Amino acid sequence: MKALVYHGPGQMRLEDRPMPFIGLATDAIVKITKTTICGTDLHILKGDVPSCQPGRILGHEGVGIVAEAGAGVTGFAKGDAVLISCISSCGKCEYCRRGMYSHCTSGGWILGNSIDGTQAEYVRIPHADTSLTKIPPGADEEALVMLSDILPTGFECGVLNGKVAPGCTVAIVGAGPIGLAALLTARFYAPARIIMIDLDDNRLATAMHLGATDTVNSSDGQAVAAVLKLTDGRGADTVIEAVGIPATFELCAEIVAPGGTIANIGVHGTQAALHLERLWDRNITITTRLVDTISTPMLLKTVQAGTIDPQKLITHRFTLDAIADAYDTFGHAADTRALKVIITA
Ligand SMILES: NC(=O)c1ccc[n+]([C@@H]2O[C@H](COP(=O)([O-])OP(=O)(O)OC[C@H]3O[C@@H](n4cnc5c(N)ncnc54)[C@H](O)[C@@H]3O)[C@@H](O)[C@H]2O)c1
Ligand SMILES: [Zn+2]
Ligand SMILES: [Zn+2]
């Protein structure tokens, strides 16, 4: 089968790889119909994610059809249309029992990281019963690809951890797919203001289209002053970090209001400064989280009901044969205006 294989920083190739097979009775093999590329895949290619070793098939998002279900899989059968969660979870270990699927002792974020992923024709999904979700008949498959990772991530790591509340002010640093997913799902709670901060005017324009109340282009280095001006000098109650570099985390700490929360989403590869000498008396909370995907069933209902429309995040479409072009397009978003790219396998 065809698969996109990581070969160390800056290197990847579409290759012929052996078909995956059922290893444990709880596994399923899924034939991928649609997958996508995540900002985290770009972090892997930068060398930021050492757990992902050369030889790994990338990708942790997608939808498909069950090609084979292990003898121990009871909830899914051959032919079922399924949504693949970026997090695999056994449902039984101590962390799963606490709803912290991201730290499942035999799962977590392993797809396209420590086991082969979804940017391929087929993928093996461990713990299939608790890591797949049935796709309702007639659902928009492309929109559902946004439920594998970006919508639960924006919602759980950004909106829930950030305690977005009615009437509050939210600032989101990074208007990529994850930041925009946080924006879409923050609106569930009717915040009074949502300020989006990015370097890219196209992405900021998309953010306004999706319901942001204000945007700040931070390329002039004046983002702190701009946010303080928009908030009468207070800062934002919830600040969501959706980039993953020291500068943007440090910016969050400068624009959080007293009593506020910084909810980090970004995957960080290098050390960021934490200025406790300025923050100790601000009554703030800083949270970090790897997405648990506990909200996927709820988010699926909001998509089915039309409360949110993730199709708005899809800008480009490719076939698996052209996945190198898809990476190129996604990796040069400032020029290509790419948000999420759909890859049809
Ligand atoms: N915690 C989790 O479970 C989890 C899950 C998925 C993704 N992530 C991470 O979330 C982050 C965002 O993902 P994405 O797919 O949206 O990435 P992306 O690269 O598409 O978007 C990042 C955005 O940040 C902007 N940006 C870059 N430098 C900036 C700066 N100095 N100031 C302001 N904006 C800047 C870019 O213009 C871009 O719009 C990544 O770090 C990704 O790895 C975390
Ligand atoms: Zn991801
Ligand atoms: Zn578990």
Residue nearest to atom 13 of ligand 1 (CA): 39
pLDDT per position as a tens digit, 120-150: 999 999 999 999 999 999 999 999 999 999 9
Whole-number Å distance, alpha carbon 89 to ligand 3 midpoint, is 5
Ligand 1 atom nearest to 219, measured from its CA: 32
* Cα 242 → chain centroid: 10
Ligand 1 atom nearest to 289, measured from its CA: 1
- Residue 266 and residue 128: Cα distance in Å, rounded? 27
Amino acid in position 215: T
pLDDT per position as a tens digit, 216-235: 999 999 999 999 999 999 99
Is the pLDDT confidence value at 48 over 90? Answer: no
Task: Read off the pLDDT of each residue in 193-208 and give the average, rounded to a whole number.
Answer: 97
Task: Read off the pLDDT of each residue in 97-120 and give the average, rounded to a whole number.
Answer: 98
**pLDDT band of 55, cuts 50, 70, 90:** very high
Ligand 1 atom nearest to 180, measured from its CA: 16
Contact (Cβ atoms closer than 8 angstroms) between residue 218 and residue 210: no
pLDDT of residue 293: 97
Which ligand does the CA of 315 lie closest to? 1
Whole-number Å distance, alpha carbon 282 to ligand 2 midpoint, is 32
Whole-number Å distance, alpha carbon 176 to ligand 1 midpoint, is 6
Dihedral sign from CA coordinates of 319, 324, 330, 332? negative
Amino acid in position 202: N
Burial (CB count within 10 angstroms: exposed 0-12, middle 13-18, buried 19+), residue 53? exposed
Pocket of ligand 1 (CB under 6 A): 38-40, 42-43, 149, 153, 157, 173-179, 197-200, 203, 218, 242-245, 247-248, 265-267, 289-291, 333
- Residue 140 and residue 132: Cα distance in Å, rounded? 17
Closest CA to 63 of 310, 306, 292, 294: 310
| Strand-pair category, 132-134 with 81-84 | antiparallel
pLDDT per position as a tens digit, 57-100: 999 999 999 999 999 999 999 999 999 999 999 999 999 999 99
Burial (CB count within 10 angstroms: exposed 0-12, middle 13-18, buried 19+), residue 213? middle
Taking every pair of C-alpha atoms in the chain, what is the biggest distance, in angstroms? 61
CA angle 160, 166, 169 (to 5 degrees): 80
pLDDT of residue 191: 98
**pLDDT band of 180, cuts 50, 70, 90:** very high
- What percent of the chain shows pLDDT beyond 70? 100
The contacts found for 38-42 with CB under 8 angstroms, 24 or more apart, are: 38/86, 38/149, 38/150, 38/177, 39/176, 39/177, 39/178, 39/244, 39/267, 40/267, 41/112, 41/327, 42/330, 42/331
Contact (Cβ atoms closer than 8 angstroms) between residue 27 and residue 117: no
Report the 10 Å Cβ neighbour count for 328.
12
Whole-number Å distance, alpha carbon 96 to ligand 3 midpoint, is 4
- Residue 191 and residue 261: Cα distance in Å, rounded? 14
- Residue 75 and residue 223: Cα distance in Å, rounded? 49
pLDDT of residue 141: 94
- Domain boundaries of the chain, sorted by first residue: 2-149+294-344, 152-288
CA angle 189, 248, 103 (to 5 degrees): 65
CATH for the stretch 152-288: 3.40.50.720
- Residue 77 and residue 144: Cα distance in Å, rounded? 20
pLDDT per position as a tens digit, 26-45: 999 999 999 999 999 998 99
pLDDT of residue 269: 84
Contact (Cβ atoms closer than 8 angstroms) between residue 159 and residue 188: yes
- Residue 90 and residue 26: Cα distance in Å, rounded? 9
Q: What letters, b where the CB count within 10 A reaches 16 and e where it falls short, cover 108-127? A: bbbbbbebbbbbbbbbbbbb
Report the 10 Å Cβ neighbour count for 194.
26
Query: Which residue from 178, 316, 335 has its CB within 8 A of the most atoms of ligand 1, so it is best to mutate?
Result: 178
Mean pLDDT of the chain: 97
pLDDT per position as a tens digit, 317-332: 999 999 999 999 999 9
Is the pLDDT confidence value at 165 over 90? Answer: yes
Q: Which residues contact 79 (CB under 8 A, 6 or more apart)?
A: 65, 66
Ligand 1 atom nearest to 40, measured from its CA: 43
pLDDT of residue 341: 98
Whole-number Å distance, alpha carbon 142 to ligand 2 midpoint, is 16
Whole-number Å distance, alpha carbon 273 to ligand 1 midpoint, is 18
Query: Which residue from 37, 40, 201, 215 has its CB within 8 A of the most atoms of ligand 1, so it is best to mutate?
Result: 40
For ligand 3, an ion, list residues with CB under 5 A. 90, 93, 96, 104
**pLDDT band of 187, cuts 50, 70, 90:** very high
Whole-number Å distance, alpha carbon 177 to ligand 2 midpoint, is 10
The domain 2-149+294-344 is classified under which CATH number: 3.40.50.720, 3.20.20.450, 3.40.250.10, 3.90.180.10? Answer: 3.90.180.10
- Residue 198 and residue 180: Cα distance in Å, rounded? 11
